[in-house]
Amino acid sequence: EFEAEYKLLSSTFPSGIFDIKQFLEGVENLMIELINARNKGDARLILSQISPPLLKTLGEVFEKEKSEKVTRKIEILKIELMEISEFNAFQDGTAKIKVKILSQQIRYAKEGENIIEGSLKIPAKFTDFFTVERVLKNKMHSWVLTAIE
């Protein structure tokens, strides 16, 4: 489905290969790090892996949640599916990829000892979309998270 984009993206790597499996593993690791940062309420923990506008937005969300005295936690139990839903590679050496992630998670919010949202024990299925971007000609930069849906 994304053959032209794959070829263009692959041509920017010294090996001539864009390893999709390795890319998706990187997105999975990013999701785990993002959840850890959210659970700790500190967006700076993923500073190098996130775009400045998204970092600002997440920082504001985390601070708002802290001020509400609500504890929010997320735990991924299983990732059921990761697939590329949009794939854009451009002649200028940039790429933008949207990844659909289906997972089973425990998500809850507590106020004091009272569960006000979700469950501590019952998993639910969630669909998340992560958009990552990269300037390919600059080998020092890696993929950066620019949007979460």
Q: Tell me: pLDDT of 139 over 60.
A: no
Quote the pTM value.
Answer: 0.89
What pLDDT digit, counting tens, does each position of 60-80 carry?
Answer: 998 888 888 888 999 999 999
Question: Tokens in use for 97?
Answer: 């990829």
Q: Which residue has the higher pLDDT, 42 or 142?
A: 42
Give the mean model confidence (pLDDT) for residues 3-7: 89
Give the mean model confidence (pLDDT) for residues 129-141: 76
SS3 (DSSP) at 38: helix
Burial 80-115 (b: 16+ CB within 10 A, else e): eebebeebebeeeebbbbbbebebebbbbebeeeee
Residue 15 pLDDT: 83
The candidate with the shortest Cα–Cα distance to 50, out of 33, 75, 62, 69, is: 33
Give the separation between CA 11 and CA 3, rounded to whole angstroms.
12
